[in-house]
Structure 1
């Protein structure tokens, strides 16, 4: 994971686009492996969402003692890199003209045209999905606008705030304030989902936006900025109301999206919902690991992939299901994703922590299937132990499909279990770090 942050020693060429990319300090590569869809995808970009997840995992790794002072150094570089994005050429048309002049004729169809660039709003930088790691715009045709990454970045920096020196607070404050302002301004607008496939209103986006604004409200209050605190609190409350509309009692799970062009239910059940709960990180209440509707959704999600994936059928005792994104996924192998599967393990570890800390496993009609998968024990402690075992079973599956060298790609094939898609996906390593930390917390509670 560290090798993808501030990877200034790497160089990526895109001959068709006339580009030579050298990452700046503070950029976070989605994958540090230079690829060109040959056959692996080109992930040599700084995605807002992925980078925020990785920077938050870096904080967790520091707490766990896995990294030392380098974590704070990389955070400082990340903040400066983010600030540099705000200094991009806000006209963009001149930059596009220069870019197009170097693009091979066969590649021009992959480049945004001047009309599209000209429609960009004043806050276009934050509405992007990704940028080049050398702090230049991504002029290729890629689905945008997207709003979840900015909210996640605010969450990550707000979590880092109390663990950083005051000397870094100026830059952090500038990023946090701008990210929260963008989130408030754009929360009602449609955006693309985390897979960058569908424009609409998404559970994942709403939940991380709501969490960012709740944390922002508390942060502004601590700075005695009441007006901003009230605005964030009101925005979070509005998003909380919208989130309630995603529960579908007829289907028995939380829908992943609303208002998309494809009105079918094929993608209604989506890993994005599980990841939303993990990334928002709420300890209790609605949309936390203790929410019966969230638990029902996870049970339905596991059931889907237990039936869909060959590697989940007749699996050895003690192994949980490998999990993908949604039914009928065709991206590369359409297989299991390490971060989806690790996300489920982390869910159970966090549930074990909550139960160990005194919460009750809710008994509601909505989560009956979930409780059947996780039989309640005689008391909270035995219920927590059951949740820990369930997390371990899923982690055993990740271990079974991880090579001895420990490399984590984006996917592992649903039939063969072989790794596919992007090699060394940085998000996969981040997901492992946070799942392992959640397991450490759970086992620590149960040993106490």
Structure 2
């Protein structure tokens, strides 16, 4: 039986594999099947198998925790969660995982058939486009990557469905890569580094794919063009800018979506511009002199936990207000998604150093390594320091969770969970970080 005492014990002496197993089952409650089904709170429609609900929260669900309705299938969020489901089973085949992958592929095909524009970012849980939502270009690339990676789990009609979905997704990337679109956080329209990075990774993964999906004409040229655009996002300080050619809110950079562009896209973990950006992200939420510092990080630091991080310093969304109201004081809070992404970045850098046997030593990267005590030390000590840094962040997420249930955000003052509950992406981000940790220390996760 999971008790508060046992959970705190796991946090103190990290047992991340065991924690991840619990979070996996909490996440998969949001995956519709023939056994688990959801009802659309607006229309009464029943979910189709394979729909991945972003969160079971909606404004009138009786909890009073949020004004938002997340009972929808976001293409981006669903692909990220589905990747964790695919990674959860044995490579020899896990019948339940394979079934979920088949249902995911077939639901993706249903959604594609219901729209003429694959920039449609959100679908109802019965496979219809959500009306009045922004157009986004990252979902098709992430969906294609997920299905290409899960090819060995698919056969028969599900494999045929996945092949068709991937071919349409890749064609969309080639046709629309040059176009601006709404960014990852669904707030501004422009040229997004995250979108470009995941599109580039999808095109690089496409040749000789195991699904037998056809590669669209012009793919190599678009791939080369996207690769050449990544440096355009570097600012005068050597850090990445998240969105170009956009009307940005104040203090929109540094933005954690740059880290997500590494985890889900084609930005290397040891990219000096990325590490310079991460060092600044960490500073703004921990430095006592920063106006954006989260008070909860001061409390956690005394317990050797954290830090928790948010989306960007000028965030005004807390899950309960109108995010278009820019007259409000800054009220942004840390997110499990963002914090787990930061932890995973540390593990990925550790793995890269362990493989190359030498940490980067350039001026842009130096502040990142100095923050975690990984500069000027032996390679093995640098790897250990980076792993400890990631562990502190994951322990903070667990410590502030509601008995391992994860919401969208943590309150920056109290650390209590807030906004929509049981956010699928929060679980997926934690699971992905734990998998990255295992790659540093084979055979161990906790």
Going from structure 1 to structure 2, the CA distance change for 1:12 and 1:35 (only over 3 Å counts) comes to farther
Of the three residues 290, 313, 325, the one matched with 1:327 is 313
**1:105-116 matches, cutoff 5 A:** none
Aligned to 1:357: 355
The higher relative CO (CA closer than 8 Å, separation ≥ 6) is in 2
User: Matched residues in 1 for 2:213 and 2:32: separation?
Assistant: 35
Q: 1:200 deviation in Å? A: 0.7
Q: 1:160 deviation in Å? A: 1.1
Residue 173 (structure 1) aligned with residue 163 (structure 2): yes
Where does structure 1 lack aligned partners over 5 or more consecutive residues? 91-122
**1:198-217 matches, cutoff 5 A:** 198-217=188-207
Of the three residues 37, 52, 59, the one matched with 1:28 is 52
Going from structure 1 to structure 2, the CA distance change for 1:446 and 1:11 (only over 3 Å counts) comes to closer
User: Matched residues in 2 for 1:392 and 1:202: separation?
Assistant: 30
User: Matched residues in 2 for 1:384 and 1:166: separation?
Assistant: 44
Going from structure 1 to structure 2, the CA distance change for 1:68 and 1:34 (only over 3 Å counts) comes to farther
Aligned to 1:154: 144
Going from structure 1 to structure 2, the CA distance change for 1:173 and 1:64 (only over 3 Å counts) comes to closer
Q: 1:168 deviation in Å? A: 3.6
Q: 1:137 deviation in Å? A: 2.3
Aligned to 1:49: 76
Q: 1:224 deviation in Å? A: 10
Residue 3 (structure 1) aligned with residue 3 (structure 2): no
Q: For 1:124-168, what per-residue CA distance to the aligned partner results, in whole angstroms no more than 9, with x for missing partners?
A: 2x11120101112212x32x2100011110111111124444664
SS at match of 1:4: coil
Residue 268 (structure 1) aligned with residue 236 (structure 2): no
Aligned to 2:41: 13
1:219–1:229 contact (8 Å) kept in structure 2: no
**1:324-403 matches, cutoff 5 A:** 324-332=310-318, 334-374=332-372, 375-376=374-375, 378-403=377-402
Going from structure 1 to structure 2, the CA distance change for 1:269 and 1:134 (only over 3 Å counts) comes to same
Going from structure 1 to structure 2, the CA distance change for 1:133 and 1:69 (only over 3 Å counts) comes to same
TM-score (norm 1): 0.82
**1:122-201 matches, cutoff 5 A:** 123-124=116-117, 126-139=118-131, 141-142=132-133, 144-165=134-155, 168-201=158-191
User: Matched residues in 1 for 2:128 and 2:212: separation?
Assistant: 34
2:347–2:440 contact (8 Å) kept in structure 1: yes
Deviates more, 1:365-374 or 1:41-50: 365-374
SS at match of 1:21: coil
Of the three residues 209, 213, 219, the one matched with 1:232 is 219
2:102–2:159 contact (8 Å) kept in structure 1: no
Going from structure 1 to structure 2, the CA distance change for 1:385 and 1:150 (only over 3 Å counts) comes to same
Q: 1:34 deviation in Å? A: 4.3
Going from structure 1 to structure 2, the CA distance change for 1:64 and 1:440 (only over 3 Å counts) comes to farther
Pairs aligned (count): 395
Aligned to 2:429: 431
Q: Which has the higher helix share?
A: 1
1:210–1:236 contact (8 Å) kept in structure 2: yes
Q: For 1:332-356, what per-residue CA distance to the aligned partner results, in whole angstroms no more than 9, with x for missing partners?
A: 2521100100011111112222222
TM-score (norm 2): 0.83
